[in-house]
Amino acid sequence: EPEVTQTPSHQVTQMGQEVILRCVPISNHLYFYWYRQILGQKVEFLVSFYNNEISEKSEIFDDQFSVERPDGSNFTLKIRSTKLEDSAMYFCASTSAREQGTGELFFGEGSRLTVL
């Protein structure tokens, strides 16, 4: 069964360093997302991406964050200068046009980011 894959599964970095989290969405999906979840809290929307551009972003997604689809398969989240409060699990998700209208997103297993 097709699945969303994310790398790395866990990354430890020093405050102020740049981090790139990578995702391979399901191949025929057109809508891509990044969410984050601070330990023990709810899943928070960061950004949605469609047709090679950001379609919506949250207040969390400030100038330190960027997303890119550099080729036909990868979808990346970059944090330019990490802060302690960026420590969280970052989930990539994708969906098709049909499933997007039914609230069904397909999530990856997440990348745990720890900022020291």
- Note the residues at the interface with another protein (CB under 8 A): 4, 31, 33, 37, 39, 41-45, 48, 50, 55-56, 89, 91, 95, 100-110
Sequence length of the chain is 116
Candidates 63, 82, 7; CA nearest to 54 is: 63
Distance (Å, whole) CA 116 – CA 100:
36
Task: Say how far apart CA 31 and CA 21 lie, in whole Å.
Answer: 18
Q: Is 45 helix (H, G, I), strand (E, B) or coil?
A: strand
Work out how close the CB of 35 gets to another protein at its nearest, in angstroms, rounded to a whole number.
8
Q: Which is nearer to another protein, 31 or 75 (CB)?
A: 31
Least Å distance between CB 16 and another protein?
26
- For the CB of residue 59, give the shortest distance to another protein in the complex, in Å: 11
Q: Give CA–CA dist 92/71, Å, rounded.
A: 16
